[in-house]
Amino acid sequence: MSVAYINDRQALLTLLFQWSSAGWIRDLDAAFADQLAQLTPEADTTCLLAAALVSHLAGQGHLLLDLQQLQAHPRSLIAVQPQEAKNDLATPESFIAALAAHDWEKELRRWTAVGEGDGNEPLVLDGSRLYLRRYWRHEQRITAKIEARVTQTTEWAAEDTRALLDCLFPRDDTNASEARWQKIACALGARSPFAVITGGPGTGKTTTVIRLLALLQSLNIKTGNPALRIALAAPTGKAAARLNESIAKQVEALSELALPEGAQATIPKEVKTLHRLLGARPDTRHYHYHARRSLPFDMVVVDEASMVDIDMMAALLDALPPHARLVLLGDKDQLASVEAGAVLGNLCQRADVGYYNDEIAHWIETTTGFVLENDYRDTRGRALDQSVAKLRHSFRFDSQSGIGQLAHAVNAGDASQALKVIKDQTYTDLTHIKLSTKAPYPKLTALAVAGRKDNASALGLSHYLQRIHRQETRPAISAGKARWDAWAADILDAHTAFQLLTPLRQGPWGVEALNERIEQALMRDNLIHKTEDTSHWYEGRPVLVTGNDYGLKLMNGDIGITLNAPRQFDTQATSETTDDSGLTLRVAFPDGQGGIRWVLPSRLQRIETVYAMTVHKSQGSEFAHTALVMPDTLSPILTRELIYTAVTRAKSTFTLLDANEGLLAHAIERRIQRHSRLFA
């Protein structure tokens, strides 16, 4: 290692930009260090490297740079694959290792760009942990606001709560035992103004929260208090639309229960995205609602909370009135948000065991009739523990379900058991397709197009495309919008029958290459028809929205299908051409309220074709048949949480495609460890 790099600021900055050109760090990371170097001439190379590292780690989802970890495991901070290394360029691992013995804390504490608490410095050093100030401030505010809520209790009469819970969860119900933790979660949620309900797929998170809302509204009615003003939210439009569908059914089911009059009617059915709930202002980090202008609600429920990053959670808590309740729903074992932070994971890190104290155990027994086992009790349980409930029974996957067994093995980090399950041919809902390293794509595209030949329920993309081409079901051009909406909704529903997932965006196994190959296969089978005139727009093309568009009311993650439809469905159609049939291309999106939003292709600016989708983008979605294709080389992105998220996107059938089963074992054994002090 050249001494010049270690002692020369300019040489270091040059090296950082070389690393960004190589793709090892972001341009932003190098530019951040460069800007601080210009503002603070006293900064040495250790300080500037620390600034680049904390910025880089933020881009990887971490909230801080742990200086103790840096000194103990310097090679773990920037992942560079062996095949990416360049002979003439010092790698981050070797360079950081060469500086690891330096007294980083001492140098950082005398740097004017670093503070140790409240202030305006861009960096904060908290003990041996270096933060970007924004994330330090968010962590402090989130901790303070949640701790303020979990230390409060709502004193409902235990006998009233018990009577209503027995109404919502009848003791003579055949599923009463399996729904035990749902009932306990409602009891905990009624007691505390802050509640977290976590659980895997099919454990009944939506059912539980609707019954919690029914319980709270009923208790207010019985005590003469006004009904709670409730807002339902989700991080993405896709997650909001899915929650909309399930909530309507759950609220309707309450009509069969003997609840106080008016309780059911006060439960909302409309779900908004968090951006829309807070009133996001385009191209800024600011919202209409904030600490000085609170949300006009008494309770907010957030679904798919694992996708909520630290910026959004801080904004939500700022905008929440002090008296308002907050309920977070989500699967703690799924991938965390794409942006920095793993808030739900931090909140639920002790959920498996419970740690309920004697007071809470007594409340649970009094209001639900269930006696907590000693395994879930701990007199030293923290205040936060008393507000977190884990649902432990899956109503979707039983002992005969290969998907359930695979998800359990993956979640437990048991790679050998996961491989055993995936290869066990007795599970009809699982298939393992071995790809040839020489010619992997024929099997992959055949599955994507036609599904599994041995399983009629394991459909492929041809299912929804054939439905589009079925002339007997296509509405006449003179049919009203309601008829066309119903047809488009049927196509969109058919599209959820299959989805191919991949961990990567780039490379031969990334979404871009896979989408191109699948598109070519669909053209060969005459399932789609592209011409030079239509360019990349054609009937049947599925598209994924990759950025919020408030003008079109489309959110990041929304999926639409391109269809030929009457031009009058869009008032902006004057410049569009119409074919001889009087139809023109529109992209049909669900509007989240049972209808369809028809959008001109030319108005969509941030979209991509979605025959294949990254696992990250699939969060908040479910597909009848989900297939995961593994890359053929190691990648830092391959983790247990990624595999678990992919497997649990499948409602009825899961297919794994790989050329190297060792990569699956490698991924299952690797956990995402996002550095944070939030509730540590």
Could you tell me which residues are annotated as the binding site for ATP? Answer: 199-206
Amino acid at 516: E
Of 390, 304, 383, the C-alpha closest to 352 is 390
Element (H, E) at 134: helix 133-150
Distances (CA, A) of 186 to 116, 182, 405: 41, 6, 28
Tokens of 149: 């809520």
φ, ψ dihedrals at 3, nearest 5°: -65, -30
| Phi-psi group of 622: left, alpha or beta (phi > 0 → left; psi -120 to 50 → alpha; rest → beta) | beta
Cβ neighbours around 590 below 10 Å, total:
23
Can you state the angle between helices 661-668 and 415-423, rounded to 10 degrees? 140
* Residue with the two structure tokens 């030949």: 453
Count of CA atoms in the C-beta half-sphere (13 A) of 126: 18
Q: Which of 71, 69, 84, 74 is nearest to 24 (CA)?
A: 84
Contact indicator for 402, 419 with CB cutoff of 8 Å: no
Geometric angle at alpha carbon 589, from 567 and 447, rounded to 5°: 115
Distance from chain centroid for Cα 276: 17
Q: Which residues are part of a known binding site?
A: 199-206
> Helix, strand, coil: what percent of the chain each, to 5?
45, 15, 40
User: DSSP states of 528-541 as a string?
Assistant: S---TTTTT--TT-
In angstroms, rounded to a whole number, what is the distance separating the alpha carbons of residues 233 and 300? 7
CA distance 130 to 152: 32
Residue type, 478: S
Collapsed DSSP state (helix, strand, coil) of residue 588: strand
30 CB-contact burial (10 Å; exposed 0-12 / middle 13-18 / buried 19+): buried
* Residue 424, both tokens: 């066990």
* Helix (H) or strand (E) run with residue 250 in it: helix 237-253
Strands (E) located in 392-494: 430-434
Name 271's bridge partners. Answer: 232
Name the residue type at position 541. Answer: R
| Amino acid in position 356 | Y
Distance between first and last Cα of the chain: 37
- Beta bridge partners, 390, equal 198
